[in-house]
Chain A
Amino acid sequence: MKRILFFVLLFTVQWVDAQDFTVSGNVKDATSGEDLIGATIRVKNMPQYAAITNVFGFYSLTLPAGDYVLEYASISFAKQEASVSLTENITKNIELEPSAEVLNTVEVTGEKQDENVKSAEMGVDKIQVKDLDAIPVLFGEKDVMKTMQLLPGVKSAGEGNTGFYVRGGAADQNLVLLDGAPVYNASHMLGFFSVFNSDALKDVKLYKGGAPAQFGGRLSSVMDIKMKEGNMKNYSVSGGLGLISSKLTFEGPIVRDQGSFIISGRRTYADVFLPLFKGKSEALAESILYFYDLNAKANYKFGDKDRVFISGYFGRDKFGYADQFGFDWGNTTGTVRWNHIYNEKLFGNTAFTYSNYNYKLNFGSNDQTYQIGSQIQDFNLSEDFNYYLNSNNTLSFGGNIIHHTFMPGDLETGSDVDFVLNDLENRYSLESALYLSNEQKVSKRITMIYGLRYSNFTQIGPGDVYSYDVDGNVIDTTTYSNLEKVASYNGLSPRWSMSYLLNEKSSIKASYARTYQYLHLLSNSTSSLPTDVWVPSSNNVKPQIADQGAIGYFRNFKNNTYEFSAEAYYKYMTNVIDYKDGAEVTLNPTVEGDLLFGIGRAYGIEFLMKKKQGKFTGWVSYTLSRTEKKFTELNSNNWFPAKQDRTHDASIVLIYNITDRLAVSGTWVYYTGNAVTFPSGKYEIEGETIYYYSERNEYRMPDYHRMDLGITLKNPKFKTITDPSTGEEKQVPKKFESSWNFSVYNVYGRENAYSISFEENEVTGQTEAVQLALFKVIPSITYNFKF
């Protein structure tokens, strides 16, 4: 605990003010008891004093001694006032009631309305999971990761895909955290679904640029996903029946207002129908194809100052073909978290997280089998503090250490196979970081967040480590013993962002961040595959480094009904990875010799116009951007477009609440096709036509566009009963709530290219391009309920 004292002392010297007192506490949802993230606490008539709850609903506000009226507010909740008399440090816990008729109220209470203008944060997208309900999606399976892709600067990795690119970054440059635990492969079914069951989620925040110093380890973005805590007041069951999957959630108090739990499960059942193919296609009838997820979380308060959370995720995809072939993969994460309020100003969060991603492939049957397994496993211990120094300064500091284990290939054979395959060697590394950051209201107009993050990555033994020549041939092998240092890298990442308020309605913001990435996902194919390999930085692979600067203009119109923002960014990346021609990334012990290292740059401008209130809500976003790479070995050392380079990327999301029971919605997306490598000639080898390629990524896929529509019909929330004593008729809320959702994906049946292949026309002998489109019009229906 010495470290805390050090930081505290450092800053208290400057800021000692004996006459200030602190009001601190928790803000919660009165119906469910869930903590409210980002609720604001303001002093009435004194707008210069304000605080925001952290991700655990905790706030702390330091004021000169005196009497105040505090206003507590959060989006979709009724504002609440509380009088406090500050003659000493006090605790004030508040529960906010959901605003009853959100749709009919002209002015939606919720004070964070001008947050986008006033906060120093930029390049941040937030999604409240309940906002997902209305937006139409593929197979009716609502998905935070797909909805994120409708925001500016975030691009879909492909048709129906949950993978995403942020500001020109590759898919592996996104840190996806579930309750603080990294999720290494966030997709099910080759990316058509994300591993995140939206029924179990509470809040999603995506940092596209200057992520706070607390986060590190990836170049381009941090997606911070928080699971629900569970209802503190009542037991409740909710669920949904869909075309592809069904889900069920059970939550409730462990001890009312002291602890709660939530368990949520989801399973797809496309495979249930496969036996129907019996007699028609035995191959289909004998196949297995499904995935499932299980999320669970529990929390308990020990007194006023301590709270413990335990959460876990387990999900798995299973695919099989009779008894000859089996393939399954999935993530497991676990988090144990302890929140402690040291005093009214110091909030501490200690967490231990575990994360594992693995896949297994089986061939053959009986004892004549071959099995290939691969996994990555993390243990992480982290310590984070928020120190609410005064109403102008909020400090965050802490550190973490992660132990990574990489098992690239574990090979096993059945007892009838008379030879042994050697496993690929495991790799081990330690990744650690320390950070300090401050959010400071410099003046009435200027707010700044600045910080510094120091990180270290050390590759450790045991194992044989190779050195390569320029052609990728092994020239030397060194054997390291247990825990012996092989290679080590350090990084110092400054983070800075600032907002300057032009007036009450508009601001200018700027940010700069440097990021380091020590783990790299090797994916040599166009689509993401469960078999893609994570490799750590090593003696051969240097960390990727990015510098990103951004400026933005933010303005709200009509009493914060409309939000407008424009952000321009420039990102420069070094040690970015590409592959030698024909590199094999799976089960290759010398894969590092097949890698190429170069530089990258990405720049663009993002526009967002959003309407947040009223019957009609939604947004329009547009991004104009360029992403390029440069490698000595590729395209004659010229800059060439990265796969994810898309000149134009636009989306429109509209939701119209016709009545409080009926809502219609529509989305439309458009983007320039990915850069892709196509042939420019052909020749013959062994009697077969072989294509000749001149440059990498010199062609484009056709442009992509699609429209989806959805209708949500809620069954009546209230029923009319006759009061037996008075005979009066009155409306009471129903215990059982339900809704229907109908949606159509790709309404106008656009055949968007998923892949393009080449073949010879049988008549003319000329080469033809054949496009594969995956989804034409896909209608779906989902029934959701809650009681």
Chain B
Amino acid sequence: MKSIKIVSVFAFLITLFTFTSCEKVIELDLNDAETQIVIEAVISDFNNENYVKLSKSANLSDSTNGVKITDANVYVTDQNGVNFQFTHQGNGYYTNNDILTSEQQTYFLTIEYGDETYTSEVTTTSKNNIDYMYTFGYEDLSTDVPNDSSYLLFFSFLDDASEENYYRVRLTVNGVKSESLYLGDDALANGSSISAPLFADFLSKGDTALLELISLDAASYEYYYTISNTEGGAFAPTPANPVSNIEGGAIGYFAPLLVDTMTFVVQ
């Protein structure tokens, strides 16, 4: 699984090496792009995580990330023609409590706003399940406290050999969600029993970790994968917009999640 970006390593090397480096805010004359409709649509089989967030993009000089769209008509249809209407809860946030995603199913998203209609179609893969989790303890160098152990959390699962699989892993430690975006595919390990560490999070003794292994379809995986390219920087790829799976001219994504969870207490 490709779960670590070596970019951060290079950044570290650079700061080590260039002891005189300095940062400052500069004035740049940046253009204002045309306003875009932004869609964040997720349906799931866990915890009733079915929501659609609608907003408009903003200029860089604006103090917010854009105005919310509160008056759209949002619904998801499954492959049997069953309609799931989303209702606006306020602040551009729409929900539905009835959808439960399942394996190898196709879902259609429709959003009607103004004169425009935005659509997306996704098909789920099979659901892959976590087999077990374990930790690996070592002396933590980042805290500068000698002999203070940190734990790296590993999880293991069997990849489905019959198809290409795409994964996202979410970690919640003591009720706090990790900000790290863990992604992986089976291109180099199809059908294997895969075990991988969550490199960017360090746990302490007694922590309770909730791990969600999310099986994604190829298109929503690509969206998550390419969203990390929107920041740019000396060692990052040329920044670009993430690859959207929405039709009709909006940006954003529609992702069906198949979530398997496991809880682990660091001993």
Q: Given known contacts A525-B236, A757-B233, is B26 in contact with A581 (CB within 8 Å)?
A: no
Contacts of B17 in A (CB 8 A): 189-190, 192, 270, 289
- B176 an interface residue at 8 Å Cβ cutoff? no
Contacts of A409 in B (CB 8 A): 188
Whether A420 pairs with B192 at a CB distance below 8 angstroms is yes
Closest 3 CB pairs of A and B: A582-B226, A581-B240, A765-B63
Cross-interface CB contact of A421 among B55, B189, B233, B235, cutoff 8 Å: B189
- B241 an interface residue at 8 Å Cβ cutoff? yes
- B160 an interface residue at 8 Å Cβ cutoff? no
- Tally of contact residues, A, Cβ under 8 A: 91
Q: How far apart are B53's CB and chain A's nearest CB, in angstroms?
A: 8
Chain B positions 214-267 with a Cβ under 8 Å from a chain A Cβ = 222, 225-227, 229-243, 251-252
C-alpha gap A216/B35 in the complex (Å): 49
Q: Given known contacts A325-B9, A681-B59, A769-B27, is B16 in contact with A691 (CB within 8 Å)?
A: no
C-alpha gap A772/B136 in the complex (Å): 36
C-alpha gap A284/B56 in the complex (Å): 44
Contacts of A683 in B (CB 8 A): 36, 38, 55-58, 65-66, 251
- A483 an interface residue at 8 Å Cβ cutoff? no
Contacts of B236 in A (CB 8 A): 525-526
- B47 an interface residue at 8 Å Cβ cutoff? no
Q: Which residue on chain B has the smallest CB distance to residue A679?
A: B60
Contacts of B4 in A (CB 8 A): 363
Q: How far apart are B180's CB and chain A's nearest CB, in angstroms?
A: 12
Whether B138 pairs with A774 at a CB distance below 8 angstroms is no
**A–B Cβ pairs within 8 angstroms, 10 of them:** A189-B13, A363-B4, A529-B10, A584-B237, A589-B188, A677-B240, A680-B33, A691-B60, A765-B62, A771-B25
Q: How far apart are B221's CB and chain A's nearest CB, in angstroms?
A: 12
- B172 an interface residue at 8 Å Cβ cutoff? no
C-alpha gap A694/B239 in the complex (Å): 11
C-alpha gap A418/B134 in the complex (Å): 13
Q: How far apart are B73's CB and chain A's nearest CB, in angstroms?
A: 21
C-alpha gap A363/B200 in the complex (Å): 13
Whether B16 pairs with A525 at a CB distance below 8 angstroms is no
- B161 an interface residue at 8 Å Cβ cutoff? no
Whether B24 pairs with A582 at a CB distance below 8 angstroms is no
C-alpha gap A418/B131 in the complex (Å): 13
Whether B141 pairs with A678 at a CB distance below 8 angstroms is no
C-alpha gap A754/B233 in the complex (Å): 9
Whether B57 pairs with A681 at a CB distance below 8 angstroms is yes
Q: Which residue on chain B has the smallest CB distance to residue A527?
A: B234
- 11 more contacts with CB within 8 A, not counting A589-B187, A755-B234, are A286-B141, A526-B238, A582-B222, A582-B237, A587-B2, A677-B240, A682-B66, A684-B55, A756-B232, A769-B25, A770-B25
- A365 an interface residue at 8 Å Cβ cutoff? yes
- A776 an interface residue at 8 Å Cβ cutoff? yes
- A766 an interface residue at 8 Å Cβ cutoff? yes
Whether A766 pairs with B187 at a CB distance below 8 angstroms is no
- A424 an interface residue at 8 Å Cβ cutoff? yes
Cross-interface CB contact of B28 among A529, A588, A678, A764, cutoff 8 Å: A678
Q: How far apart are A280's CB and chain B's nearest CB, in angstroms?
A: 8
Cross-interface CB contact of A765 among B64, B229, B234, cutoff 8 Å: B64
C-alpha gap A587/B185 in the complex (Å): 12
Q: Which residue on chain B has the smallest CB distance to residue A581?
A: B240
C-alpha gap A770/B142 in the complex (Å): 26
Whether B251 pairs with A692 at a CB distance below 8 angstroms is yes
Q: How far apart are A713's CB and chain B's nearest CB, in angstroms?
A: 26
Whether A587 pairs with B21 at a CB distance below 8 angstroms is no
Q: How far apart are A374's CB and chain B's nearest CB, in angstroms?
A: 12
- B31 an interface residue at 8 Å Cβ cutoff? yes
- B98 an interface residue at 8 Å Cβ cutoff? no
Whether A773 pairs with B237 at a CB distance below 8 angstroms is no
Q: Which residue on chain A has the smallest CB distance to residue B138?
A: A365
Q: How far apart are B214's CB and chain A's nearest CB, in angstroms?
A: 13
Q: Given known contacts A582-B226, A692-B57, is B141 in contact with A283 (CB within 8 Å)?
A: yes
- B82 an interface residue at 8 Å Cβ cutoff? no
C-alpha gap A754/B26 in the complex (Å): 13
Q: Which residue on chain B has the smallest CB distance to residue A283?
A: B141
Which stretch from A305-313, A543-551, A696-704 is at the chain B interface? Answer: A696-704
- Tally of contact residues, B, Cβ under 8 A: 81
Contacts of B24 in A (CB 8 A): 751, 770-771, 773
Whether A282 pairs with B141 at a CB distance below 8 angstroms is yes
Point out which of A527, A698, A753 has the most chain B C-beta atoms below 10 A from its C-beta. A527
- A322 an interface residue at 8 Å Cβ cutoff? yes
- A579 an interface residue at 8 Å Cβ cutoff? yes
* CB 8 Å contact bits of A402-424 with B (1 = contact, 0 = none): 00000001010000011111101
- A443 an interface residue at 8 Å Cβ cutoff? no
Q: How far apart are B143's CB and chain A's nearest CB, in angstroms?
A: 8
Whether B26 pairs with A771 at a CB distance below 8 angstroms is yes
C-alpha gap A581/B59 in the complex (Å): 22
- A619 an interface residue at 8 Å Cβ cutoff? no
C-alpha gap A404/B33 in the complex (Å): 46
- A300 an interface residue at 8 Å Cβ cutoff? no
Contacts of B79 in A (CB 8 A): none
Whether A774 pairs with B14 at a CB distance below 8 angstroms is yes
C-alpha gap A612/B25 in the complex (Å): 44
C-alpha gap A287/B12 in the complex (Å): 11
- A693 an interface residue at 8 Å Cβ cutoff? yes
C-alpha gap A769/B23 in the complex (Å): 10
- A689 an interface residue at 8 Å Cβ cutoff? yes
Q: Which residue on chain B has the smallest CB distance to residue A585?
A: B237
Cross-interface CB contact of A770 among B26, B156, B194, B243, cutoff 8 Å: B26
Whether B31 pairs with A680 at a CB distance below 8 angstroms is yes
C-alpha gap A525/B142 in the complex (Å): 28
Whether B242 pairs with A582 at a CB distance below 8 angstroms is yes
Whether B60 pairs with A685 at a CB distance below 8 angstroms is no
Whether B9 pairs with A686 at a CB distance below 8 angstroms is no
Q: Given known contacts A281-B144, A289-B17, A751-B24, is B251 in contact with A767 (CB within 8 Å)?
A: no
Q: How far apart are B161's CB and chain A's nearest CB, in angstroms?
A: 12
Whether B21 pairs with A679 at a CB distance below 8 angstroms is no
Whether A754 pairs with B234 at a CB distance below 8 angstroms is yes
- B195 an interface residue at 8 Å Cβ cutoff? yes
Whether A766 pairs with B28 at a CB distance below 8 angstroms is no
Cross-interface CB contact of B26 among A287, A679, A689, A702, cutoff 8 Å: A702
Point out which of A525, A531, A696 has the most chain B C-beta atoms below 10 A from its C-beta. A525
- B80 an interface residue at 8 Å Cβ cutoff? no
C-alpha gap A522/B142 in the complex (Å): 34
Whether B193 pairs with A766 at a CB distance below 8 angstroms is no
Q: How far apart are B166's CB and chain A's nearest CB, in angstroms?
A: 13
Q: How far apart are B210's CB and chain A's nearest CB, in angstroms?
A: 17
Whether A322 pairs with B13 at a CB distance below 8 angstroms is no
Contacts of B222 in A (CB 8 A): 582
Cross-interface CB contact of A682 among B57, B194, B199, cutoff 8 Å: B57
Q: Which residue on chain A has the smallest CB distance to residue B252?
A: A685
Cross-interface CB contact of A418 among B156, B234, B238, cutoff 8 Å: B156
